[in-house]
Structure 1
Amino acid sequence: MPSFEDDAGEGSITVEMVEAYDFLMKFIIIGESGTGKSCLLHHFIQNTYKEFSQHTIGVEFASRILKVGDRRVKLQLWDTAGQERFRSVTRSYYRGAAGALLVFDITNRSTFTSLQGWLDDARALASPQLVTVLIGAKCDREEDREVSWNEASKWAAEREIHYLESSSLTSFQTALPFLFLTRSILLAIESGALDPEKPGSGVSYGDRSLRRVGSSMSMWSGRSSGDYGERSRFSTLFAPAGGRRRFGLGSGRGRSGTCC
């Protein structure tokens, strides 16, 4: 976001140019400690790998505006600590969340077996229409895998949520979970299944004028901003829950090190 500083006089004044948006959505990022939640968020915001990442204490906040078709959506992103000692604090941030990114580490089975508790808390405390995506992080470490694609996708399908795998180290599918949740919620608004004016929905109207209320949003007319491309590209990257992975790591495979 552009800013301007005036260093005249004794102090400085920073004026930020605020970007307008159509909708504001609240997302939470949840899961056990060390699964790569903070690295995933950092990559989405900064488009870089977070080389050194410490455990989150309590909750960390970030925001970003996405353009999906002709709609601009501001995401409020709450990265919650995974340690049990912070759970009583972090649960309070679930309230009013429209979307949840549920993250586990494919190389650590214990982070997978604990997922049900995280999902139950989110569904009990967040918006009644919460949209959730399950993310298997660190998929660049295939040789250390402890949870198979089929097992994780079956778990997700049984709970009616989508599953994908990502790697912050190789930049594989780090933005897609956020885009998927955003698009799913926009479709719910368009269909009338979700009302942004209803308290606790996790969504509110932004300050851009909505000129075509009640008509089709045409979300996939033309290209989206950044690297998101067209609808056809999005649909090929997201298999339904329980489906098979369509893409490997591509050029990212073979890079050394571990990933968050």
Structure 2
Amino acid sequence: MSNFQRNLDQKIDYVFKVVLIGDSAVGKSQLLARFSRNEFTMESKATIGVEFQTKTLVVDDKTVKAQIWDTAGQERYRAVTSAYYRGSVGALLVYDISKRQTFDHVAKWLDELRGHADKNIVIMLVGNKSDLDSLRAVPIEDAKEFAEKENLFFMETSALDNTNVESAFVTVITEIYRIISKKSLVANDEAEIGGSSKLLTGTDIVVPGPEPELKGGYKCCSSS
């Protein structure tokens, strides 16, 4: 039995909302299609408004359903999609390594994300279209420097040849789980001390508490 089929037979322990953000045409929808369905289409239409897919994973023997939201990158949809940031606990901030302007806009997207999402959101900076290395307009060093400064995970991906796509999503989802499970353990310990045994399982999660300590943790900067 495959992991996916086995997941279908298990109860869902956690539901995490993850958003894809970045300029139009950087490949957000293609990344989502590759991760959720292992598909890639050369002729991709621009996303209008918001679409989402789900993917179920097993992390530390817990079944995690990721609801991954693909937000339109066009400016005219910004007011509509801003509401969809709320409740998200993970984000992939995507730019195109062959288009410098899409990287220059990353700081603006990050500010908007942090203005609407939970303050503890786990963020992965993604340089997509690494298959276009011969047309590279964003040095990997620039992206690494920005990610380190802003305390983000970082990875270069290619939805076309399926490089690092699963790793990018799984890294974000696993980090969310690490933060949540740690806080659930603390909450359960406190409940036991107080004579209660309430468990934080099977619920939609909004991460409470202090900022996650990502700096100095795992940051994958490989482009291969």
When normalised by structure 2's length, the TM-score is 0.80
* Runs of 4+ deviating beyond 3 Å: 193-196
In structure 2, C-alpha distance between the alignment counterparts of 1:61 and 1:194, rounded to whole Å: 30
Q: What is the CA-CA distance between 1:50 and the residue it aligns to?
A: 2.2
Confirm whether residue 92 of structure 1 aligns to residue 83 of structure 2. yes
- RMSD (Å) for aligned C-alpha atoms: 2.4
The answer as to whether partners of 1:166 and 1:172 remain within 8 angstroms in 2 is: yes
* Percent identity for Structure 1 against Structure 2: 37
The answer as to whether partners of 2:10 and 2:63 remain within 8 angstroms in 1 is: no
2:181 — aligned with what?
190
Q: For 1:1-260, what aligned pairs fall within 5 Å after superposition?
A: 20-192=11-183, 205-206=201-202, 240=219, 245=222, 248=224
The answer as to whether partners of 2:100 and 2:137 remain within 8 angstroms in 1 is: yes
Q: Deviations over 1:13-36 (max 9, x none)?
A: xxxx77521100000000000000
The count of corresponding residues between Structure 1 and Structure 2 is 194
Name the SS for the 1:170 alignment partner.
coil
Greater Rg by CA: 1
Residues 190 and 171 of structure 1: CA distance in aligned 2, closer, same or farther (over 3 Å) = same
Unaligned runs of 5+ in 2: 188-199, 204-216
The answer as to whether partners of 1:189 and 1:195 remain within 8 angstroms in 2 is: no
In structure 2, C-alpha distance between the alignment counterparts of 1:194 and 1:122, rounded to whole Å: 28
Letter in 1 for 2:82: R
Unaligned runs of 5+ in 1: 3-16, 197-203, 208-237, 249-260
Structure with greater helix share of residues: 2
